[in-house]
Chains A and B, each alone.
Chain A
Amino acid sequence: MSTNVLFDAPGPRGKLRNAVLTVLSVVVLAAAVYYVYARFDAKGQWDGEIWKPFLDASTWTEYIIPGLLGTLKAAGLGAICALIFGAVFGLARLSDHRWLRVVAGAIVETFRAIPLLLLIFFLFYLAPSVFGGGDYSLVALVAGLTLYNGSVLAEVVRAGIRAVPPGQAEAAQAIGLRKSQVMRLVLLPQGVTAMMPAIVSQLVVLLKDTALGYIIAYVDLLNMGFKLIPAVYFGSLIPAAIVIGVIYVGLNMSLSALANWLERRTRRSHRTAVQPIIPPGGVGEPEATGAGVV
């Protein structure tokens, strides 16, 4: 895979230059790592004492796992609602009725443009004045995630359906299928396959955005790790940050790996006439022949 062509098989001078560059970069990187290590060490952040809570099962059962469950709950609910929202509005934007297209388009474009945190704050303060008192942190978080990510997914759905070659729909109409049948039997099955990688990438974004719940005091992994653990085990802020950081990175990287696998599978697949569509804001990388590392 990694046929790097930015540089040739090096000659004697090139080899020397590369060796010098390697040594230089090792030195600079090691110096940077050591500097960070020393700064942390000077403040006693590598002391066994403050790392000890993480060897304790109760830290995990009382704080980290409940926090993780809170994050996964918000992400799961948000994902389901966003997928429904995205499917409904994505298809509405493809409707034959002009008014439906325009209304759905306006809603999707608006929610995509609103900074998510402002939306969540607004819903968080709006909910009590509409539904009466109570804890609306989960509701506000999930509603915000749904409206924003659902709008992005609506664009993915629209792009996926439109990427199906027109001949497919024409052929379906020619054998006498109705509008709804064309969509259900021909366009959706092929479009969904092409959308899957982009959908999973967006779900990674959604999972990451659940951390915004920290700001409205929703009990998620970040809140447990950054507010509760340092409050209970004094001085353990940095270890807690590193531990929950590893959990977040692990979760997101496994989801991203799933997206990549789906994309490779879709490219090979014969079940669809469509190539995987590009995630919103992404750049197509169709040619493995391009310069640089693929």
Chain B
Amino acid sequence: MDDLIKYAPALLAGFLENVKLSLICGALALVLGTILVSARVAPTPVLRAAGTLYVNIVRNTPLTLVLAFSSLGLSDTIGLIFSDTPSTNSFWLVVLGLSAYTGAFVCETLRAGINTVPLGQAEAARAIGLTFLQSLRLIILPQAFRTVIAPLGSVMIAMIKNSTVAIAGGYLMESAFVMKDTFDDTGVSIPIFIGLVIAFMVVTMPVGFLTNRLASRLAVVR
């Protein structure tokens, strides 16, 4: 217990890095996922194929590989540099990798949502002369989003937990690394582990609770 109190400031700082990563990646992944799903249902075969290819590749690659690749491959070998400060640079590389990865899952979730929108809605949209983008933006996506709020919440919770893998992308300030560092110092400490687990639960449980509440409040009545 003493260990937990002694290292609490470092652990809290590490945990806040996870929260920061999650907030940025969550927003970017939602945008990317929406773009990807629009491509996957577009009238252009090229866009559909590109969207499908991206989602199938990224979704089936381990996140550890994605993040290690963005750090060792894209940054160290190819020279993609966001910032001259190493920690800021690796932060944005992790943001890049984690958003690219989560975006594929957001896309798949949204696509499942689009599949639950009844055929009549799309037909009615066409009948009043809406173009593809108009019907997607005004009719299909709003209903799809409302159907998949709860699954999107699960995707976001998975992403918050995945932010600990940032260590594979060379970002050495978030909680997984801080915990490992502390264990190197003091040996294994059960209170520290439990403390971090509770910290994660404090964030993930409200996300699950809120998205479930929103899902039932915003459910499309059919």
Chain A residues with CB under 8 Å of chain B are: 4-8, 10, 17-18, 21-22, 25-26, 29, 39-40, 43, 45, 110, 113-118, 121-122, 125-126, 129, 204, 208-212, 214-215, 222, 226, 237-238, 241, 244-245, 248-249, 252-253, 256, 280-285, 287, 289-294
Pairwise interchain contact A21-B115, C-beta atoms closer than 8 A: no
In the complex, are the beta carbons of A117 and B65 less than 8 A apart?
A: no
Per-residue A-contact encoding for B42-63, CB less than 8 Å = 1, 0 else: 1111111010000011001111
The answer on a CB contact under 8 Å between B118 and A211 is no
Contact B50 A118 (CB under 8 A): no
Q: Is the CB of B111 within 8 A of A129?
A: no
* Nearest A residue to B48, CB-CB: A293
Can you name 19 A-B pairs with beta carbons within 8 Å? A10-B43, A25-B47, A45-B77, A113-B197, A115-B160, A115-B164, A117-B176, A118-B200, A122-B179, A125-B188, A208-B60, A209-B62, A226-B65, A238-B78, A244-B65, A249-B61, A252-B61, A287-B115, A287-B118
Which residues from 160 to 181 on chain B have a C-beta closer than 8 Å to any C-beta of chain A? 160-165, 167-168, 175-176, 179-180
Q: B interface vs A, CB < 8 Å?
A: 40-48, 50, 56-57, 60-65, 68-69, 72-73, 76-80, 109, 111-119, 121-123, 126, 131-132, 135-136, 140, 147-148, 151, 154-155, 158, 160-165, 167-168, 175-176, 179-180, 183, 187-188, 190, 193, 196-197, 200-201, 204-205
Task: Give the complex CA separation of A252 and B68 in angstroms.
Answer: 19
Contact residue among B119, B193, B197, B204 (Cβ-Cβ distance under 8 Å from A290): B119
Tell me whether B78 and A222 are in contact (CB under 8 A). Answer: no
Residues of B within 8 A of A292 (CB): 41, 111, 114-115, 117, 122, 140
**A109 to B6 alpha-carbon distance, docked (Å):** 29
Please count the residue pairs between chain A and chain B whose beta carbons lie under 8 angstroms apart in the complex.
198
By secondary structure, the B interface counts as helix
B179 CB to nearest A CB, Å: 6
Which chain B residue shows the least CB distance to A251?
B60
Chain B residue contacts of A222, Cβ below 8 A: 62, 64-65, 68
Interface hub of B111, B132, B196 (most chain A Cβ within 10 A): B132
Contact: A289 with B119, CB < 8 Å?
yes
Q: Is the CB of B122 within 8 A of A214?
A: no
Q: Which of A4, A8, A126 has the most CB of B within 10 A?
A: A8
